[in-house]
Structure 1
Amino acid sequence: MRLVVGRIGRAHGVKGEATIEVRTDDPELRFAPGAVLLTDPPERGPLTVRSGRVQGGRLVLSFEGASDRTAVERLRNTMLLADVDPTELPDDPDEYYDHQLEGLTVRSVDGVELGVVDQMVHGPAQDLFAVRRPDGGEFLLPFIAEFVPEVDLEGGVLVVDPPEGLLSL
């Protein structure tokens, strides 16, 4: 199974480095020098990590074959993927992979079906559920304990308690 572990951002400097939006709990492993990452779109990869460092709180990587700013800019917004064992689960029971959450039925705490988790959106402050409503509309819900009191993977249900007014937007 393939998981998104990051997204290539802007070029950093002129020597072929790029900022990375990290989407993994183990960046030391996933982005170690020599690590080979698949890409989406696939024609941009695979990419081999040449070097990495943290600068100003952001991960900065360089890749084999992308030796200047122009080459890195062509990779911008490329999703970085890693092959993982499908039985591998996060260590923390309150953490989930996107594929575990996408497709779950969303119900309010009083049992009203609100839709289905269409995708996870990884914002700078927090993760959000993009929920497709039965009528085809969509709403975003922050993935915080206050709004999401229960995740039942076995039952295929996400129980939510959205703040008043969110669903009427």
Structure 2
Amino acid sequence: MSKSFGMQAGSGNLVLVGEVTKPHGLRGEVCVRLYADSPSFFDLVDVVHLRPAAEAPAPDPVPAGRGRRPARPQPPRMRRVRIVSWREHKGMVLLVFEGAQDRSAAEALRGSEILVRETELPDLSDDEVYIHQIEGLAVRLEGGEPLGVVREVLTPAGQEIWAIETPDGREVLFPVAEQFVLAVDLEAGFVEIAPPPGLLDLYLSDDA
């Protein structure tokens, strides 16, 4: 089977690789929830896009002087930024971004998404794929019978699970393991699987 590496589909040709959760210390470090398999990913990618938290409150209008309407600052937009450094600390991944090297600047990044252009992702070996490449692929059973489409890839507790949507709208949660995945063909747009015994009955029987 092809091994899949973490990271989720973003918008356009951007791939979500992490999220800033909170500042750490006084020197601009931020804690990151990482969607890549390993923080060493940042040894290979040192320029990313930061997308501010969607739910960030709008700033208050700034007085613009007598006889003028208050000027309302524009909300921050996604920007391209260089990673100055990264390290692991007590199970956390800490990053420092260029231009945000003190506590207040780090606080402003809380909730921001970290994205990388798909064309800038590190190359994988022939038997590896990124998780975002799996989403949207057609799913076939052994022998070619269609089952549905991979709607989403889940990774609870480190276990990769494909949420497969069938043509009639049902959901099959398929646990990914080498013995169950027969083929992954990105060019042809499909995966072929041999689900463990009883799995399809669990989700697709009339009593399910």
Equivalent residue, structure 1, for 2:32: 19
Q: Which structure would you say has the larger Rg?
A: 2
Correspondences of 1:24-63 after superposition (within 5 Å) = 26-30=41-45, 35-40=46-51, 43-63=77-97
Q: Which runs of 5+ in 1 are unaligned?
A: none
Shift of 1:53: 0.6
> How high is the TM-score relative to the length of structure 2?
0.62
What is the identity percentage for the equivalent residue pairs of Structure 1 and Structure 2? 28
Equivalent residue, structure 1, for 2:173: 140
> How high is the TM-score relative to the length of structure 1?
0.73
**Cα 1:45/1:109, change in 2 over 3 Å:** same
8 Å Cα contact 2:19-2:34 kept in structure 1: yes
C-alpha RMSD of matched pairs (Å) = 3.1
8 Å Cα contact 2:84-2:95 kept in structure 1: yes
**For residues 152 and 106 of structure 1, what CA distance do their matches in structure 2 show?**
10
8 Å Cα contact 2:44-2:122 kept in structure 1: no
- Could you list the per-position Cα deviations for residues 35-68 of structure 1 after superposition, in whole angstroms to 9, with x for gaps in the alignment? 3311346835434323211223442112233632
Shift of 1:96: 0.8
Equivalent residue, structure 1, for 2:18: 7
Q: How many residues align?
A: 162
Of the two structures, which has the highest relative contact order with CA contacts closer than 8 Å and spacing of 6 or more?
2
Please give the secondary structure, in 2, of the residue aligned with 1:107: strand
**For residues 174 and 158 of structure 2, what CA distance do their matches in structure 1 show?**
13
2:110 is matched with which residue: 75, 94, 104? 75
**Matched AA of 2:148:** G
**For residues 105 and 171 of structure 2, what CA distance do their matches in structure 1 show?**
37
Q: Which runs of 5+ in 2 are unaligned?
A: 1-12, 54-76, 204-208
Shift of 1:28: 0.7
Shift of 1:74: 5.1
